[in-house]
Amino acid sequence: MKKLTTFAAVAALAMAFVPAVASPASAQSLAVSAIVAQDHSMRSSKLIGMDIYDDKGVKIGKIEDILVKGSASEPVAILSVGSYVGGGQKLIEVPISHINLKADKASMAATKADLAAMQAWKFQGLAGGGG
């Protein structure tokens, strides 16, 4: 079941992340990435656990999981954010297209404060008592 889930996640990510390649040089840089393959498919196993940085290079969170919904909707990343005054870690949900990958480094156009202000995400379990 885990292999099927991982395969489904990778397939959905591949469809969600088909970046426009501006030049052959860009294609070369994507081909040597540990995350993005030459055909633009993405490895969810490499995304999970990645730190997320803001545009200034400050760490703002970490990818904890990737959810692929049963419909044609975009996959989402579950990020842990926190270590804020008055609170610990919390989970939030963001569309995976909001995460930019360059040279195997993930970033977002957001700040710690932006993420802290987002509604917390909570896993609701699986139908049939699986989680």
How many Cα atoms sit within 13 Å of 4 on the Cβ side? Answer: 1
Question: Is 124 contained in some domain?
Answer: no
- Could you report the per-residue pLDDT of 10-47, keeping only the tens digit for each? 444 444 444 433 333 444 344 456 777 777 667 788 89
Question: Is 123 contained in some domain?
Answer: no
CATH code of residue 40: 2.30.30.240
- Could you report the per-residue pLDDT of 52-61, keeping only the tens digit for each? 999 999 999 9
Question: Is 23 contained in some domain?
Answer: yes
- φ, ψ at 90 (rounded to 5°): -140, 160
Question: Do residues 53 and 106 lie in contact, with contact meaning Cβ atoms separated by under 8 Å?
Answer: yes
Domain of 52, in residue numbers: 2-116
Counting residues of the chain whose pLDDT is more than 70, the rounded percentage is: 64
- Could you report the per-residue pLDDT of 66-88, keeping only the tens digit for each? 998 887 788 899 999 976 555 67
Number of separate domains in the chain? 1
Asked if residue 7 has pLDDT above 50, the reply is: no
With 0.85 as the threshold, say if the pTM is over it. Answer: no
